[in-house]
Structure 1
Amino acid sequence: MQKNCSALLISVATFAITSPVAAQSVSDDTASPAEIIVTAQKRQQSVQDVAAAITAISADTIEQRGVTSASNLQFIVPSTQIGNLLGQTAVTIRGVGLNEGAPGVAIHVDGVYQARPSMGDMLQIDIERVEVLRGPQGTLYGRNANGGVVNFITRAPTGQFEGYALASYGNYNEARLQGMINVPITDKVRARAVVDWNKRGDGFVKNIVPGGQDLDKAETISGRGRIDLMPTEDFKIELKGEFLNSDGPSQYFTLHNLPTPLALYLNPALASATYSFAPWRTSANDPVNTRRRYGALSAIATLNLGHVSLKSITGYSHLSDRSLADDDGIDISMFPVRRDYISRSFSQEFNVSYSSQLVDAVTGAFYLNDKLDHTLDHALKEGFAVTLLPDNGLPPGSQLLFRVPSYKTEVKAVFADVTLHPSERLSLIAGVRYSEETQHQTQQNNITFGPSAPIFTCPLRTNDAKFTSTTPRFGARYEVTDDASIYATYSKGFKAGGFNLYACDNPFNPEKLTSYEGGLKLRLLDRTLTLNISAFQYDYTDLQISQVIGLARFIKNAAAAKVKGVEVETAWRPDNHWTLDANLSALDAKYTHFSNIDGLAPDKGTQVLDGKRLNRSPQFSSNFGVSYRTTPGDLGAFTFRVDVSQRSRLYFREFNGPLDVQQPYGLLNAAVIWDSPGQRLRVRAYGNNLTNKAYIAQMSSSDSFGARFVSWGAPRQYGVEVKAAF
């Protein structure tokens, strides 16, 4: 591993084309890469001055590369994997992230914490920038930031009347209309609103059963309205409201292998089913549909008092996810299912920051009140014999109902983070966060055999838990020159435990992570080149791993794992025409102490998994992009861009079996952009995944069905987008 990392590091550093700043402004006349100012440490800093591994993605990069969902970020940010299965957006950074339950990478929008995993893929419109911090962020962000943080920063209202209209059309009958208007109502009141409509009329996943329903398509309308009030030069209030309505069979999975012999023995009807294991194909016969409704309100008040700044961040969100699914993926109605998620979250943060030549400090308090109502309802039309009931199974008309009418989570935290500057070039960092999380769960499960009365396998009961954590951060940063700095940090992350939704009195433990990281940040060649290198090691304990047992998903803890890695990012703009950016990561992520039973191979008994690779952790991954912009003239200007992403083998299950794997793959995207003179009109022709590479985005499994289920990355897409600004 060390030899391979060194060789790759030397190769990339020599070639000098990787990127911490993913793109530059296409209208910038200078040759240096644009310097993005970030607020990742809750104060304004250049991305090159942050003592952490951070990727800042500008608005121009988002527009040039057509970033429309969180899943696109994995091909821009190093060591990042993002996949979606049944509406849950799983973000993994450096092998740490979502396995099930609460996210392991925290998502924030304008500073407001997003409590549910599916919220990470909403409302990615009219974005100013995206900041991705890699590594545990337990001090400033706290809850569920073990793997890192993704900050979406939306565009603020400006002081001039402006707007745009955007329309696009692509294959799979996909159309988009988007409009934005910005109105400076007075000198002290500004407003901005954006609305987006998107419809994919033809699904990515085709049904091989005549008359069957195609999947992975939806119609979505979303929007955001924001008003900024500035009563004085030092006092600002930001009021924002957002909504999203989505309907269609967008959530899905497809079979990845034949049922095991045991599953076929228990359910002989499976032998006569129609199967398809080809990418983007299904033989599902039961209705599939998702109805998603999301709304959010936030208020941010900032008072600047010279060296001191006071801030209040208030957020409320409501999410309703109601879906019908074919949980067998075949043309036999073994177990159609209904899933309902209703979530309400309120959060409040107060922080005080102080900045001077000697010290930068921020201290504050955080509160979260989150409520979840969840139902999982299996109505078994054909009957089904699960491994837990091998003698008689479940006759047709049976029902399995898992009900969590209330799961309340309350979090209270206080934090402080201080950076001292004892000399002009040296910075010393110290921070700590204390968190207290209480959970109150009410649940009730029952089973109905045919037309008989329900039997309560879990009578109505409540579970209570309390978790406390102290997560410190220590570090130092030294500016060797004005264009070169080094840093080293020690930090801890904590992700609370909880209760499984589908079993009585079945808790799982918190997971903890200790990180050691060092980095080098450089500006070279008259600041036309930035080169950032980071190396890290994690000690990871009680990892929360999920697996399906029977017809429900459960979380258990893996004892320990170790993660080591190296990341290289760079951006090079040698002149006003060329931009080259890329990143490379080498990751050694393995379980060091873990034993488990594979429900798909129970005959193997308890397997010792020490040395197996962590889920969604490729050993090597890289992203490379190059763009060329012509000199603006009477006919406008053209920009040509090509992006290549590569991943080595990665596993989705801890058993690392031959069917648990996505083999190495690469993706090729390209775009041609025309900007009119004056840049009022833009036409973008794009092609994504031009080689039509099929790759698994996410995987799960069921021991009762004896099979793996997968979702696929998007196939080849191409289209044209027109944007007119006024």
Structure 2
Amino acid sequence: MTPNLLAMSIAAIAWSATACAQVETQGDGIQEVIVTAQRTAAPESKTPVAMSVLTARQLDAIGADTPGALAARLPNTYLENSYDGLRITIRGVSNADVTEKGDPSAAFMVDGVYVARPQSQNVALYDVERVEVLRGPQGTLYGRNTTAGVVNVITKAPVGRFEGDVNAAYGSRGERKVGAMVNVPVNDVLALRAAATWNEHDAYLKNGSTTPRGLGLDRDDRAARLSARLALGKNAALLVRYEASRDDGNNDSTVPDSNFYNGIATGQPVWNGDSTDRQLTYRFNPPNTRFEQGYSHKKTSSLTTDLSWNLGPATLSWLGAHRSFDHDYLYNFYYRVAPTIALGVRQPFTGTYSQDSHELRLATNGAGPVTAQGGVYWFRERARDTYYFRDLQAVGLPPYYVFGNDPVEARSKAVFGQATVRLADGLRATAGARYTEDDKSRVGYIGYQRTAAFNAATDLRELNAGSISTDKTTWRLGLDYDLAPATLVYGSIATGYKAGGFNDGCAAGDARNGVGCPAATALPAASLTYRPETVRAYEAGVKTRFRDGRATLNVAVFHYDYRNLQLSNEVVINGRPRYETTNAGAASIRGLEADGQVLATSADRFTYALTLLDAHYASYVPDGVHSWAGVKLDRTPARTLSLGWEHRTHIKGGVLTAGAGTRASASYLLGVPQAGLKFRVPGHTESDLRLGWEPDGAPWSVLARVRNVEDKVRPMTISSSGLAVPTEPRTADVRFDYRF
């Protein structure tokens, strides 16, 4: 950690632990939020983990109805709805491999259930209780693939009272939304809850090419959830949720990176400063093909069962889930094959995915000198898919360059435990560990075909298969101390683990299902797999409430040592494009986060968040020649500052609520290491406004919102082939709610 950053960190913690250590009060103070970040219910202010919580009220106020809409409200966190799935970056750690063989670095969960595929993480957020975002490795309680952290969406469960809500919104760019919820207590032992949502909006992109097709960044999805809570006697309860959704949005939502940058061909991209209108206009006309109308059809269903049984000294719980996901799409690629040459590529795709998971956990009850929990976990995912890359004849490939996989399987099992011991009044020590075994395999082929259907007389296939088994013990040690009734000081050392995997290709002499591996295209065994990603994280923090509970401050400082950071890119091997993941040696991440809120008056609430971050490669030679040591990791601005204000005033006949928020970010990089390209995203601000009205005693309310007042866009991601996903431009909407 740099001297200035370390000094600021120490000063911030010392100030918050002394000057702000006052007793929390109720009454007009800031309401406490109960979270389950440590897998048991506890106040957020007493949970010794760096985290952010967005409640249902906050989500509705800012209009956050997809995970990608949350990012601007979360310190050191980016959630981006890319064309190929949700990209999560926490404190500079991310993952770009969204194929069937890839894993995220931050786990995305719904009601505590891990959702494996990024393409099915772009869910609609509706009837949500809260969203918990945990920053830092969570390997002990949440398992593998949580080296960066966890995003857990917690939906509302049935309650013992009748209630309902109908809402509708209409906005710019053809935005149309309708939602509804009803909760019915059938009797003393059974309560039911149903919720549904429907969302549409037109494309943000403009078509400036000669092909008459509609472009993406549009939306057309609907979802419904039915929940049932059943009391099984006095000490047990069963909660069952079933959800189904369909998404027919168009995923042709990228533009060439040249929409944002000049000088790409020279290897020195420079921000071009074009207008938002030009940056969102797709002007590429491929010289080798004619693009078709793109589409994307997703169908998702899930069944989750949560059983809790209070045994007196401890509670036994079982969380079981089954999820299925079907995806069918046609995507039109901009594909740069040389610094000054780009081709068009059409990619039809079809895939089916299913996953099952079970967790059995036993946790002690009460607040005795020792609290503990432990359990076992089992997970299985099976995928089957086919990609067709067309129009690459100019680089010596056939009309249909095919990747067919059946099956791709991932299995994981783990045993875990964690205990907290009270050492003295207000002082607690925590120790936990988790042992995980992962097995991943794929059987498939790479086809060189004249048509979509394979013809053995004219076409060729080569094996595309791999398997890897990895295991790891992750652990956590922590101390926390109640410095004052309303001030918690904590520190921890934690480790995280992300499973290893395999790349496209095959080893000489291998054969499966009648498909062999020709010696001419075989790859060295060492390049077919990559190692697990691991991290050791050191963290210290303070959570405090002061001004008689009318102000909060959370401060965290951290230092990460990453090993074998997994980075993914499209590469050309033996003249053929492949998707390859490699280990980046080492990375160092250190920083400070401070956030909180202040009730300045009975009518005014202010929120704030400051982050300082230094995240860079410690050792990395992506092309075997040029070192990237010292180069910043993607999406790691050195500084960000977020400020928010809400004013509530009672005027004749009702309550008027006005709100404003802004986030100012320093510049940051988006890197394509294999091509040696560093795209710098300039510093920027992004602001929101809202105005709401709720009549006295009336069951209805209305809320008007404007997002991205500046109307500036940036690339969220940039691929090695030159695809850039733009952020959303300025949007506005009006929402009406009726409650009963």
Q: TM > 0.5 between the two?
A: yes
Read off the aligned partner of 1:723 and give its amino acid letter: D
For 1:658 and 1:507, locate their aligned partners in 2 and report how far apart those are by CA, in whole Å: 25
For 1:262 and 1:654, locate their aligned partners in 2 and report how far apart those are by CA, in whole Å: 11
The answer to whether the 8 A contact 1:477-1:485 is kept is yes
Number of the residue aligned with 1:354: 364
Of residues 346, 349, 352 in structure 2, which corresponds to 1:336? 346
Tell whether 2:462 aligns with 1:458: yes
For 1:561 and 1:333, locate their aligned partners in 2 and report how far apart those are by CA, in whole Å: 35
Structure 2 counterparts to residues 87-106 of structure 1, below 5 A: 87-100=84-97, 101-106=102-107
The answer to whether the 8 A contact 1:256-1:277 is kept is no
Relative to structure 1, is the Cα distance of residues 673 and 250 closer, same or farther in structure 2, using a 3 angstrom cutoff? farther
Answer with 469-478 or 102-111: which moved more: 102-111
Of residues 45, 49, 57 in structure 1, which corresponds to 2:46? 49
Relative to structure 1, is the Cα distance of residues 691 and 73 closer, same or farther in structure 2, using a 3 angstrom cutoff? same
Q: Secondary structure at the match of 2:278?
A: coil
Structure 2 counterparts to residues 270-669 of structure 1, below 5 A: 278-283=278-283, 285-328=291-334, 334-355=344-365, 356-380=367-391, 383-385=393-395, 393-394=396-397, 398-448=399-449, 455-456=459-460, 458-459=462-463, 462-501=465-504, 506-550=528-572, 551-597=577-623, 606-631=625-650, 634-653=652-671, 655=673, 660-669=679-688
Tell whether 2:220 aligns with 1:219: yes
Query: Any idea what the Cα deviations from partners look like across 1:642-700, whole Å, max 9, x if unmatched?
Result: 01012211212154977522111110101001112135211010000011011111111
The answer to whether the 8 A contact 2:13-2:555 is kept is no
Read off the aligned partner of 1:483 and give its amino acid letter: A
Shift of 1:450: 8.2
Shift of 1:549: 1.4
The answer to whether the 8 A contact 1:447-1:454 is kept is no
Number of the residue aligned with 2:738: 724
Read off the aligned partner of 1:458 and give its amino acid letter: E
For 1:360 and 1:496, locate their aligned partners in 2 and report how far apart those are by CA, in whole Å: 30
Answer with 675-684 or 35-44: which moved more: 675-684
Read off the aligned partner of 2:604 and give its amino acid letter: W
Gaps of 5+ in 2: 17-24, 267-275, 285-290, 508-524
Tell whether 2:134 aligns with 1:154: no
The answer to whether the 8 A contact 1:254-1:329 is kept is no
Q: Secondary structure at the match of 1:616?
A: coil
For 2:26 and 2:35, locate their aligned partners in 1 and report how far apart those are by CA, in whole Å: 22
Read off the aligned partner of 1:593 and give its amino acid letter: S
For 2:294 and 2:554, locate their aligned partners in 1 and report how far apart those are by CA, in whole Å: 46
Between the two proteins, the alignment pairs up a number of residues equal to 679
For 2:174 and 2:200, locate their aligned partners in 1 and report how far apart those are by CA, in whole Å: 8
For 1:315 and 1:262, locate their aligned partners in 2 and report how far apart those are by CA, in whole Å: 46
For 1:610 and 1:588, locate their aligned partners in 2 and report how far apart those are by CA, in whole Å: 13
Tell whether 2:700 aligns with 1:681: yes
For 1:340 and 1:261, locate their aligned partners in 2 and report how far apart those are by CA, in whole Å: 36
Number of the residue aligned with 1:175: 176
Shift of 1:4: 5.4
Structure 2 counterparts to residues 25-44 of structure 1, below 5 A: 30-44=27-41
The answer to whether the 8 A contact 2:9-2:557 is kept is no
Relative to structure 1, is the Cα distance of residues 332 and 9 closer, same or farther in structure 2, using a 3 angstrom cutoff? closer
Relative to structure 1, is the Cα distance of residues 309 and 457 closer, same or farther in structure 2, using a 3 angstrom cutoff? same
Shift of 1:45: 0.7
Structure 2 counterparts to residues 690-705 of structure 1, below 5 A: 690-702=709-721
For 2:234 and 2:604, locate their aligned partners in 1 and report how far apart those are by CA, in whole Å: 40
Number of the residue aligned with 2:57: 60
Relative to structure 1, is the Cα distance of residues 654 and 106 closer, same or farther in structure 2, using a 3 angstrom cutoff? same
Query: Any idea what the Cα deviations from partners look like across 1:525-584, whole Å, max 9, x if unmatched?
Result: 111111111111111011111111134321111011111111101111133211111211
Relative to structure 1, is the Cα distance of residues 304 and 251 closer, same or farther in structure 2, using a 3 angstrom cutoff? farther
Shift of 1:184: 0.7
Relative to structure 1, is the Cα distance of residues 233 and 576 closer, same or farther in structure 2, using a 3 angstrom cutoff? farther
Relative to structure 1, is the Cα distance of residues 533 and 67 closer, same or farther in structure 2, using a 3 angstrom cutoff? same
Q: Secondary structure at the match of 1:334?
A: strand
Relative to structure 1, is the Cα distance of residues 329 and 32 closer, same or farther in structure 2, using a 3 angstrom cutoff? farther
For 2:263 and 2:71, locate their aligned partners in 1 and report how far apart those are by CA, in whole Å: 37
The answer to whether the 8 A contact 1:212-1:283 is kept is no
- The percent of aligned pairs where both chains have the same amino acid is 26
Relative to structure 1, is the Cα distance of residues 13 and 713 closer, same or farther in structure 2, using a 3 angstrom cutoff? farther
For 2:208 and 2:85, locate their aligned partners in 1 and report how far apart those are by CA, in whole Å: 26
**CA root-mean-square deviation:** 2.8
For 1:306 and 1:685, locate their aligned partners in 2 and report how far apart those are by CA, in whole Å: 49
Relative to structure 1, is the Cα distance of residues 170 and 503 closer, same or farther in structure 2, using a 3 angstrom cutoff? farther
For 1:204 and 1:115, locate their aligned partners in 2 and report how far apart those are by CA, in whole Å: 28
For 2:717 and 2:12, locate their aligned partners in 1 and report how far apart those are by CA, in whole Å: 29
Read off the aligned partner of 1:609 and give its amino acid letter: W
The answer to whether the 8 A contact 1:296-1:318 is kept is yes
Read off the aligned partner of 2:435 and give its amino acid letter: Y
The answer to whether the 8 A contact 1:609-1:654 is kept is no
For 1:560 and 1:521, locate their aligned partners in 2 and report how far apart those are by CA, in whole Å: 31
- TM-score by structure 2 length? 0.87
Q: Secondary structure at the match of 1:62?
A: helix
Relative to structure 1, is the Cα distance of residues 492 and 7 closer, same or farther in structure 2, using a 3 angstrom cutoff? closer
Relative to structure 1, is the Cα distance of residues 571 and 440 closer, same or farther in structure 2, using a 3 angstrom cutoff? same
Shift of 1:501: 4.4
Answer with 152-161 or 207-216: which moved more: 207-216
Q: Secondary structure at the match of 1:239?
A: strand
For 2:298 and 2:165, locate their aligned partners in 1 and report how far apart those are by CA, in whole Å: 27
Shift of 1:262: 12
Read off the aligned partner of 1:711 and give its amino acid letter: V
Relative to structure 1, is the Cα distance of residues 289 and 552 closer, same or farther in structure 2, using a 3 angstrom cutoff? farther
Read off the aligned partner of 1:698 and give its amino acid letter: T
Structure 2 counterparts to residues 92-171 of structure 1, below 5 A: 92-100=89-97, 101-171=102-172
Q: Secondary structure at the match of 1:60?
A: helix
Answer with 230-239 or 554-563: which moved more: 230-239
- TM-score by structure 1 length? 0.89
For 2:631 and 2:254, locate their aligned partners in 1 and report how far apart those are by CA, in whole Å: 25
Number of the residue aligned with 2:229: 228
Q: Secondary structure at the match of 2:305?
A: strand
For 2:477 and 2:546, locate their aligned partners in 1 and report how far apart those are by CA, in whole Å: 28
Read off the aligned partner of 1:650 and give its amino acid letter: Y
Answer with 648-657 or 716-725: which moved more: 648-657
Shift of 1:159: 1.4
Q: Secondary structure at the match of 1:608?
A: coil
The answer to whether the 8 A contact 2:252-2:332 is kept is no
Answer with 246-255 or 221-230: which moved more: 246-255
The answer to whether the 8 A contact 2:465-2:506 is kept is no
